[in-house]
Amino acid sequence: MLLSLVQSIPTNKLEDITNFRVTVRSGEEFCNFSNMKKSTSLLISSFFLIAFTGCVEHKIIYSNWNDWLPADFDPKNTTLMVEITSDPMTPEEIKMTEYVKENYPYKCTFVYHSDIYTKTGTFGDAKTYRYALISKSFFQQSAIPTNRDLIRKDFYFYDRLNDKNFPITNRSSNKKIHPFIGIINTIVNRYK
């Protein structure tokens, strides 16, 4: 019905279509083209925002790296260990491994928490596997006035040779892949 109404409008009158309204018998507005124009603009803007947010995420580099990155960390001389929390890996951890494969030109291995603290076996050499990136989850009160807390995730470095924890990045997120991508990007940018 709407299509036939639009097709019946002479083409020289299409400029006035933004003020065109269709009403149904009850008198309610069925279609308001001026609102549709605004809605279409909003929809297109939202699409671009979502599309480019994904691209921007992969470009994040943390400027506060000297607060959390160990001073003597050199990715060229060590294999970075990254903690995984489940077997099999969660979909998020799988995305993390894929991100490392595509963006981290240095040696990196994903291991269980127990492998990080064991000084024997495959990862026993603390000079080769000196640094581990360990995830940390914590509660943060919501900024919106609700009675809920948010679970935030972040990472910190652990020096296996000196048994030393470094501060978290303070770039937490509700998904651990977000700070992880920022850490990987920061290391790659710092040591390129």
Domain ranges in the chain are 2-57, 65-190
CA distance 80 to 23: 65
Q: Determine the angle formed by the axes of helices 91-103 and 177-190, rounding to 10 degrees.
A: 10
Amino acid at 32: N
Asked if 129 contacts 78 with a C-beta cutoff of 8 angstroms, the reply is yes
Ranges assigned E (strand) in the chain: 21-23, 29-32, 80-84, 108-112, 131-141, 149-159, 164-168
CA distance 113 to 49: 37
Q: How confident is the model at residue 93, as a pLDDT?
A: 96
Q: What secondary structure letter does DSSP report for 129?
A: T
Asked if 155 contacts 131 with a C-beta cutoff of 8 angstroms, the reply is no
Asked if 22 contacts 35 with a C-beta cutoff of 8 angstroms, the reply is no
pLDDT by residue for the chain (192 residues), tens digit each? 434 444 444 545 444 444 444 444 444 444 444 554 554 444 444 444 333 344 445 688 989 898 999 999 999 999 999 999 888 999 999 999 999 999 999 999 999 999 999 989 999 999 999 999 999 988 877 666 665 558 889 999 999 999 999 999 998 888 999 999 999 999 999 998
What is the pTM assigned to this prediction? 0.67
Q: How confident is the model at residue 142, as a pLDDT?
A: 67
Q: How confident is the model at residue 139, as a pLDDT?
A: 82
CA distance 151 to 140: 6
Closest among 186, 172, 192, 175 to 58, alpha carbons compared: 186
CATH architecture of the domain 65-190 equals 3-Layer(aba) Sandwich (3.40)
Q: How confident is the model at residue 147, as a pLDDT?
A: 56
CB pairs under 8 A, 24+ apart, for 162-167?
166/68, 166/69, 166/70, 167/67, 167/68
